[in-house]
Amino acid sequence: MSRFGPGLLVSTQDGVATVAISNPARRNAMTVGMWEALPRVLAGLAADPGVRVLVLTGEGDTFCAGADISDFTGPGGVRGAQNAMIAAESALAAFPRPTLAAVRGFCVGGGCQLALACDLRFAAEGARFGVTPARLGIVYPASSTRRLVELAGPATAKYLLFSAELIDHDRALRAGLLDEVLPDAELDKRVREFADVLRSRSQLTQVAAKEFTAAVPAPERAAYWIGQEEDSGEAVEGAAAFLERREPSFPWSPARG
């Protein structure tokens, strides 16, 4: 892995980019500098046509313990830190290819925001989740609140936001915050296998689905994607590969679109 700015480790292998949060002295808490660097990292990876899937994880046995609270007393104060957090979360949610969070240990506060901004979440047994602004008297961002409600429903969102209590991996799975829970020793292997599955599938389908699931598309956007399907020949290739019992070779990429 190569270090990108403060506290972010980035690597790419066979179309899968991995961004690891690295601030071990603070349980991988995100500093303002790390929040500000993350959109730049994501923009660089999005511009790379070889990147098909993004995995976000934490270095070591913790995903992310949240924002570094010491930044709240800095020059920008709470609002400046929160603006940087919202920008990073939004950049992650808007990343144009599939994103996976691989979670170990604590996934709390701003760390939970990042995990929920990913498309899918895989966790090791023993992971703990929490949304903790009520411990600090902070108004949780509206966009982050809506994302939490969409995933877990209003009752669980209120439980987490009102109480700032942590929940275990089992409750997080039942609530819809997680997609899969695995033994710790199996997490990395499963995430890589699933990333390879996504890498083999149609980017056209994935990118259109990501846009459509984020919001009801305007008619012109739906028409745009139908046009991309027709022009790319992906549906023809997919059907031919199925009938010939071979792996398809999908030609579409975001750069072409």
Q: In the chain, where are the structural domains located?
A: 2-199, 202-244
pLDDT of residue 34: 94
Q: By the 8 A CB rule, do 17 and 52 touch?
A: no
Residue 23 has pLDDT above 80, yes or no: yes
According to DSSP, the residues that pair with 13 across neighbouring strands are 16
Task: Look at domain 2-199 and name its CATH class.
Answer: alpha beta
pLDDT at residue 256, rounded to an integer: 58
Mean pLDDT of 78-83: 81
Q: pLDDT at position 229, please?
A: 81
Query: How would you write 31-48 as a 3-class SS string?
Result: CHHHHHHHHHHHHHHHCC
Contact by Cβ (8 Å): 56, 9: no
pLDDT of res. 227: 83
Question: Alpha-carbon distance 161 to 232, whole Å?
Answer: 45
**Residue range 64-70: average pLDDT?**
86
pLDDT band of 36, cuts 50, 70, 90: very high
- 79, containing H or E segment: helix 77-93
Higher pLDDT, 225 or 13: 13
pLDDT at residue 191, rounded to an integer: 98
Torsion region of 105: left, alpha or beta (phi above 0 gives left; psi -120 to 50 gives alpha): left
Cα-based distances in Å from 137 to 10, 24, 239: 34, 26, 55
pLDDT at 71 over 80: no
pLDDT tens digit string along 177-218? 999 999 999 999 999 999 999 999 999 999 999 989 887 777
Tens digits of residue pLDDT in 97-141: 999 999 999 999 999 999 999 999 999 999 999 999 999 898 899
Percent of the chain with pLDDT over 70: 95
Q: How confident is the model at residue 22 (pLDDT cuts 50, 70, 90)?
A: very high
Model confidence at 159: pLDDT above 70: yes
Q: Do 1 and 9 meet the contact criterion of CB atoms below 8 Å apart?
A: yes
Rounded mean pLDDT, 233-243: 80
pLDDT at 74: 64
Confidence at 257, pLDDT banded by 50, 70, 90: low
